[in-house]
Amino acid sequence: MPDRALPERFTAPPDHAPRSPLTSECSGCGACCAAPDIHALHKPLGVACAHLGTDCRCGIYLSRPAVCRNYEPDWVCGEVAPLPTLEARVRRFLRIYGLEDEAATSAGAPT
């Protein structure tokens, strides 16, 4: 069986343009706490976590659920972290994954 290397987390997939090499660690941009849904916290897609502070820091960091503890930054972080606002980061995150319409629906906005 051939030895297949896992893809580098910070290399964009082949169907995406190369991403910013800005970060290979958490930048504290808050996008991972606002864009994806987090079932363990009853947090819907595209809505900031209730525990995310205005400084984009977690208010329950020491007791956060396993899904948050196990999250590891990847190439998407380098793409969204440089954007100037949390809202812009969330929009870009959702666009990358093709989830804009789903987020609007889960937030109750017309599509």
- What are 46-84's pLDDT values in tens digits? 999 999 999 999 999 999 999 999 988 888 888 899 999
Q: What confidence score (pLDDT) does residue 80 get? A: 92
Tally the C-alpha atoms within 13 A of residue 111's C-alpha that lie toward its C-beta: 10
The verdict on residue 76 lying in a domain is yes
The verdict on residue 19 lying in a domain is no
Please, which pLDDT band fits residue 111 given cuts at 50, 70 and 90?
very low
The verdict on residue 46 lying in a domain is yes
Least confident among 18-22, 46-50, 80-84, 105-109: 18-22
Model-level pTM?
Answer: 0.74
Other beta carbons within 10 angstroms of residue 87's beta carbon come to: 11
CB-CB contact of 52 with 59 (8 Å): yes
Q: What range defines the domain where residue 86 resides?
A: 31-106
Residue 78: name the closest of 18, 2, 33, 35 by CA. 18
The verdict on residue 6 lying in a domain is no
- Alpha helix positions (H), the chain: 66-69, 75-80, 86-96, 100-106
The verdict on residue 52 lying in a domain is yes
Euclidean distance between the first and final Cα of the chain, in Å?
47
The verdict on residue 64 lying in a domain is yes
Q: Is the pLDDT of residue 108 over 70?
A: no
Q: Work out how many domains the chain is built from and give that number.
A: 1
The verdict on residue 13 lying in a domain is no
